[in-house]
């Protein structure tokens, strides 16, 4: 990434002021623009250079989420002859888009840091899924960044207004834009979020057209693109790593590989924001801790039974809620102990029912 200095990409105000102590130690500010195996590509006031992470920082980090990620601002010890530059510290993040990493272990993975807006990209073809949008919105609200839904491949859809209305119904208050990136249609509408110095992350499944969007916004074919496989509407991964790209207008675009799965790493506050309609209905439930499952006097289930709430949306809410609570129990030893004790009492009561 070539171009203007650090001020133009966001190193101003409180962020710059917070660096004074690091500067006193002879460290330089930089922003991670790409990650490679064992190395980070960092943009400094002098240009770009490859850097390694200090051993002390690797050992001090309690988990992968505390190590440098693309988009992070870092304190860098400049390169000395015969050595790489060294990342000594990560500056506090304003926002972080985090998911549970793929696999069986409960490990957080930072997909993007210090992002102002998250473009959640979905194709108006076989990729379309309201449930996947709901899941992505939970992580987006948790991140602290503003979510915007981009419905790409509008030229392949026979009824764009209906599809857009469906998405708006599960994403209240979130901007929903229909575009056709391959033809360059609708991209002008992205301008309000692509102001100089602002950072936008592109997130979505493989084959939804993220690389094509990057190419169009850059005005040149920088990212490799491949045709989507007609058989199953899924594309091959065309972006193999996360990278922060400076656009001609001064905004920064963080491109990411296609996500095969989005596992939650959040809390129920983000779930409540995503399912604001369920939260509003819940105010009418008889019990304040109602889970909208089998409790009597549940206003949410009543709304679903009467057709005022889509039953598929309620099922999605229950699924995501269960996933978050399971994660919370695994992460919290005290909660895990209490949950085991609760189920032990339930099983005991089932084995030894009280005599009438």
List pLDDT tens digits, range 237-288. 444 467 889 999 999 998 876 444 555 555 667 788 888 899 899 999 988 8
Which pLDDT does position 79 carry in this prediction?
Answer: 85
Domain boundary among 255, 288, 307: 255
Same domain, 72 and 103: no
Domain boundary among 62, 90, 118: 90
Regions of the chain with pLDDT less than 70 = 1-4, 37, 61-65, 99-108, 222-241, 257-268, 326-356
Domain CATH number, residue 18: 2.40.50.140
Same domain, 20 and 115: no
Same domain, 191 and 135: yes
In a domain, 263, yes or no: no
d(CA 113, CA 102): 19
In a domain, 269, yes or no: no
In a domain, 266, yes or no: no
CA quadruple 229, 234, 235, 239: dihedral, nearest 10 = 180
Which pLDDT does position 341 carry in this prediction?
Answer: 56
Total count of domains within the chain: 3
Which pLDDT does position 227 carry in this prediction?
Answer: 45
Which pLDDT does position 238 carry in this prediction?
Answer: 45
* Residue 243 · residue 189 · CB < 8 Å: no
In a domain, 248, yes or no: yes
Which pLDDT does position 328 carry in this prediction?
Answer: 64
C-alpha distances (whole Å) from 300 to each of 170, 248, 273, 292, 313 are: 16, 48, 16, 6, 11
Same domain, 75 and 119: no
Same domain, 72 and 126: no
Which pLDDT does position 3 carry in this prediction?
Answer: 45
C-alpha distances (whole Å) from 192 to each of 189, 260, 324 are: 7, 29, 33
For tokens 């939804």, name the residue.
Answer: 208
Q: What residues make up the domain containing 324? A: 275-351
Same domain, 220 and 173: yes
Which pLDDT does position 107 carry in this prediction?
Answer: 57
**Containing H/E element for 329?**
helix 311-331
Same domain, 111 and 190: yes
Same domain, 236 and 109: yes
Which pLDDT does position 147 carry in this prediction?
Answer: 95
Q: Do strands 85-90 and 47-53 pair parallel, antiparallel, or not at all (unpaired)?
A: parallel
In a domain, 1, yes or no: no
Which pLDDT does position 7 carry in this prediction?
Answer: 83
Domain boundary among 203, 227, 255: 255
Same domain, 198 and 229: yes
């Amino acid at each position: 990434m070539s171009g203007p200095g650090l001020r133009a990409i966001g190193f101003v105000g409180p962020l710059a002021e917070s660096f004074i102590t690091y500067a006193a130690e002879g460290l330089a500010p930089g922003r991670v623009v790409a990650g490679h195996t064992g190395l980070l590509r960092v943009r400094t006031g002098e240009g770009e250079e490859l850097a390694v992470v200090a051993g002390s920082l690797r050992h001090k980090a309690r988990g992968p989420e505390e190590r440098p990620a693309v988009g992070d601002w870092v304190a860098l010890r400049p390169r000395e002859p015969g050595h790489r530059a060294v990342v000594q510290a990560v500056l506090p993040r304003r926002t972080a888009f985090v998911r549970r990493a793929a696999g069986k272990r409960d490990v957080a993975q930072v997909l993007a840091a210090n992002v102002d807006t998250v473009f959640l990209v979905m194709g108006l073809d076989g990729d379309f899924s309201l449930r996947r949008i709901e899941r992505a919105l939970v992580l987006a609200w948790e991140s602290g960044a503003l979510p915007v839904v981009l419905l790409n491949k509008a030229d392949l859809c026979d009824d764009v207004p209906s599809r857009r209305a469906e998405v708006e119904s599960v994403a209240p208050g979130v901007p929903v834009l229909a575009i056709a990136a391959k033809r360059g249609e609708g991209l002008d509408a992205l301008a309000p979020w692509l102001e100089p110095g602002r950072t936008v992350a592109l997130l979505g499944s493989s084959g939804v057209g993220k690389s094509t969007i990057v190419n169009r916004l850059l005005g040149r074919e920088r990212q490799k693109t491949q045709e989507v496989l007609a058989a199953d509407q899924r594309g091959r991964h065309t972006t193999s790593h996360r990278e922060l790209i400076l656009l001609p207008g001064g905004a920064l675009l963080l491109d990411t590989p296609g996500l095969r799965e989005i596992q939650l790493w959040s809390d129920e506050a983000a779930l409540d924001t995503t399912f604001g309609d369920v939260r509003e209905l819940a105010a009418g439930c008889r019990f304040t801790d109602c889970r909208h499952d089998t409790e009597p006097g549940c206003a949410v289930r009543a709304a679903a039974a009467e057709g005022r709430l889509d039953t598929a949306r309620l099922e999605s809410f229950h699924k995501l809620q269960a996933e978050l609570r399971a994660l919370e129990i695994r992460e919290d030893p005290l909660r895990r102990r209490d949950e085991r004790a609760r189920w032990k009492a339930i099983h005991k009561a089932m084995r030894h029912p009280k005599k009438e």
